[in-house]
Structure 1
Amino acid sequence: MNRSGLALALLSAVLFGASTPFAKLLLGGMPAQMAAGLLYLGSGLGLAVVLGARAALRLPTHDEAPLGGRDLPWLLGVIATGGVGGPLLLMLGLARTDAASASLLLNMESIATLLIAWVVFRENVDRRLLIGAACIVAGAAVLSWQGRAMFSTGALYIVGACVCWGIDNNLSGRLSAVDPVRIAMLKGLVAGCVNMGLALTFLHAGLPGAALVAGAMAVGFAGYGVSLVAFMLGLRHLGAARTGAYFALAPFVGAVVSLAVFGVHDAGRLAMAGVLMGIGLWLHLSERHDHEHIHEEMAHTHRHVHDEHHQHTHTHDDPPGEPHTHYHVHTRLVHTHPHYPDLHHRHSHDGHGPHDHGPDGQDHTHAA
């Protein structure tokens, strides 16, 4: 398993899951749109500060690949589905559905992410991965189940929100070579402004007190901003299906925090969910995907080191040291090693080797 990708995906789940109980504690007295707006704005504004500080101090990560013209359609899709469509449908659903049913239905995001990755973007998803993902989602369902589920118009809105976020997660994978801080910042600012606009314009809601606003934005920065950056870096290493499955651990983290800090949750159900999720995680961690595959010639820009996939010469204009970011050409390569659907391994497994357009819009043809 790609250890960096695993650590980043789990960090994303931990940050988002741990932020949920605190978000409920801080934001219980305001409309859902106002709460969502403050959380997303905290994410966007916090990451804007990070971007500025990173550039001013020339920290090692300041040279991530910039957004290019070919990235624009993917970026607009991410913002439209994940920053606008998902939150809006969720708010409509929450207004028509009880909290227990809503929590259960939100587990559909991981399922939607995996199915879209498998069917639409043709990521390799074998039986082991499917069973592992099913165990993780089942564990999340155990945590959310309250003895009944309401399938109503509100439920359809929430399922629609999960589909939007599933699309968002997969489109974000097309952008995983680009600076994740910049992507997450733009998404946070747009989503925050849209939700705040809805709250102020249509609900005529007023801003809460300064302390509550600051607390909400701090939670949003960690649980939405930093978490999203880690999620996108996980996509870079693991692909959407696996990163989405690990992110489904977030409800378990939230339940553990609720139990430890606030004394809220059923310890028996928490233990049962932990067993199911542990089985799913083990199935994923013990996965080994290894076969001969062909990397056809390709060219793109992203942050990299000179590993076996990056054996290229430098010109005097290219940056020194590693890791570094510059436009480079991959020569044709045939080899066998364990791999996952990262930036350089989004190839077909049907024996026909169709063209796969990677996150930079270039033709990333691979044959298996």
Structure 2
Amino acid sequence: MTTRTTRPGIASALAAAALFGVSTPLAKLLVGDVAPELLAGLLYLGAGLCLLAWYGWRGLGRGADATSHGPLTRTDIANLVGAITAGGIIGPVLLMEGLTRTGAANASLLLNLEGVLTALLAWIVFRENVDRRIATGMALIVAGGVLVSWKEGAIALGSGSLLIAGACLAWAIDNNLTRGLSARDPIQIAGLKGLVAGLTNTAVALALGARFPHPGIAAAAGAVGALGYGVSLVLFMVALRHLGSARTGAYFSTAPFLGAGVSLLLLHEALAPLFGPAAGLMALGVYLHLTESHSHLHPHEPQTHTHRHTHDAHHQHEHDFPWDGTEPHTHRHTHASLLHSHRHFPDIHHRHRHPNGTDS
């Protein structure tokens, strides 16, 4: 069901999900020793410092082209500010607060709502194509989230669950804004996001009276953030480039299952009464997303932009400068008009109109 062009996106989304999924129970271990707002800051500081160090080392070691994905435009900067605010500041604080009021296993499954909300925003606000199969999968994931919160014949949406749902909405906004940045260098974008969000959350927490933890705990939080928030975001952006927001969010929905499993093994938490059926519904919803196939005759309008690319079927162009054949490479290039049919996802070259009125 996969193609050569989508495999890197699928692999990146699943790897991002694995790293983020493990970070939730690990953060739960730390949240008792660190104020939630400060922990959010330390997680993102770890991500930002690690990635910007990686970005700088790569540039020194491999030359300017290694870090070149084209300059940031005004639209890019606006998207980055919005993504940092929603996903780097608001989302982590809500999650850390939620983890103080609910178990990590249940919280991990509730985080499936991020993929659903990402897809809904992509469909309704950003007009990304979502077919019946994707919509059915989203409905199953939501049903699983309802079962997680079901206690004694009623839905028990406590403050912890509501806070985690709010974090999912913040990250859904972040994911859709980040889609607009997916052609840029993911290490640079994720590093800037981590550093700004980390400094902001840390400063706010300290101003509110939070006490800085023991250096060992701070280092542990930074390490969890470097992998679960930093490297995970880099991989997520690579997936966005190939798959678009809704599909990447669907693959990323596998993260809570891993997080819930680690929570049960590491923290020995009690299961919610309907944990098993909830996990089953969510697994079926994710399966529908993972096995989607989308193919039809579609046009490519003429387009000029700058991003890192190879000379695949969508990049058959001449160079107006000496070129030694190195790929991938970055330069401003123009896509000619093209009409063809093949399996595709709404990547940076397949955001087009559909008969149902969606744009990608």
**TM-score category, normalised to shorter length:** 0.7 to 0.9
Range with greater deviation from structure 2 (38-47 or 60-69): 60-69
Match of 1:43 among 47, 57, 60: 47
Taking the aligned partners of 1:224 and 1:144, their CA distance within structure 2 comes to: 26
Q: State the match for 2:351 in structure 1.
A: 346
Match of 1:172 among 172, 178, 203: 178
Taking the aligned partners of 1:201 and 1:330, their CA distance within structure 2 comes to: 51
Taking the aligned partners of 1:98 and 1:112, their CA distance within structure 2 comes to: 21
* 1:154 Cα deviation after fit: 7.2
* 1:182 Cα deviation after fit: 1.0
* 1:320 Cα deviation after fit: 3.5
SS of 1:17's equivalent in the other structure is helix
Render the CA deviation track for 1:155-179: whole Å, top value 9, x for unaligned.
6665444322211110100110011
Conserved 8 A contact 1:297-1:331? yes
Counterparts of residues 296-311 of structure 1 (less than 5 Å): 296-311=301-316
Q: State the match for 1:284 in structure 2.
A: 289
User: Any unmatched runs of 5+ in structure 2?
Assistant: none
Mapped pair 1:222 → 2:219: no
- TM-score w.r.t. length of structure 1: 0.85
Taking the aligned partners of 1:253 and 1:179, their CA distance within structure 2 comes to: 28
Q: State the match for 1:191 in structure 2.
A: 197
Distance 1:182 1:319, change over 3 A: farther
SS of 2:315's equivalent in the other structure is coil
Counterparts of residues 245-284 of structure 1 (less than 5 Å): 245-264=250-269, 266=271, 272=277, 275-284=280-289
SS of 2:250's equivalent in the other structure is helix
Distance 1:308 1:169, change over 3 A: same
Taking the aligned partners of 1:153 and 1:281, their CA distance within structure 2 comes to: 27
Amino acid at match of 2:252: F
Distance 1:53 1:139, change over 3 A: farther
Render the CA deviation track for 1:276-312: whole Å, top value 9, x for unaligned.
3443333223222111111010011111111111110
Distance 1:331 1:231, change over 3 A: same
Conserved 8 A contact 1:13-1:247? yes
* 1:319 Cα deviation after fit: 6.5
Amino acid at match of 1:194: T
Taking the aligned partners of 1:142 and 1:151, their CA distance within structure 2 comes to: 11
Range with greater deviation from structure 2 (54-63 or 172-181): 54-63
Taking the aligned partners of 1:44 and 1:162, their CA distance within structure 2 comes to: 21
Conserved 8 A contact 1:136-1:249? no
Range with greater deviation from structure 2 (110-119 or 256-265): 256-265
Taking the aligned partners of 1:152 and 1:141, their CA distance within structure 2 comes to: 12
Mapped pair 1:335 → 2:340: yes
Distance 1:145 1:259, change over 3 A: same
Taking the aligned partners of 2:49 and 2:245, their CA distance within structure 1 comes to: 26
Matched residue count: 353
Range with greater deviation from structure 2 (316-325 or 154-163): 154-163
Taking the aligned partners of 2:227 and 2:181, their CA distance within structure 1 comes to: 21
Render the CA deviation track for 1:230-272: whole Å, top value 9, x for unaligned.
1111111111011112222211111222334454454996654
Taking the aligned partners of 2:69 and 2:320, their CA distance within structure 1 comes to: 19
Render the CA deviation track for 1:130-169: whole Å, top value 9, x for unaligned.
2223334545665666666555777666544432221111
Distance 1:130 1:157, change over 3 A: same
Amino acid at match of 1:348: R
SS of 2:345's equivalent in the other structure is coil
Render the CA deviation track for 1:42-80: whole Å, top value 9, x for unaligned.
000111111111111118853333423341111122122
Taking the aligned partners of 1:254 and 1:152, their CA distance within structure 2 comes to: 20
Q: State the match for 1:359 in structure 2.
A: none
User: Any unmatched runs of 5+ in structure 1?
Assistant: 357-365
Distance 1:301 1:32, change over 3 A: same
- TM-score w.r.t. length of structure 2: 0.87
SS of 1:293's equivalent in the other structure is strand
Conserved 8 A contact 1:252-1:270? no
Q: State the match for 1:81 in structure 2.
A: 86
Taking the aligned partners of 2:27 and 2:213, their CA distance within structure 1 comes to: 14
Conserved 8 A contact 2:137-2:289? yes
Amino acid at match of 1:86: G
Conserved 8 A contact 1:300-1:327? yes
Amino acid at match of 1:114: A
Q: State the match for 1:118 in structure 2.
A: 123
Render the CA deviation track for 1:25-45: whole Å, top value 9, x for unaligned.
234212101111110100001
SS of 2:58's equivalent in the other structure is helix
Range with greater deviation from structure 2 (261-270 or 112-121): 261-270
Taking the aligned partners of 2:288 and 2:126, their CA distance within structure 1 comes to: 23
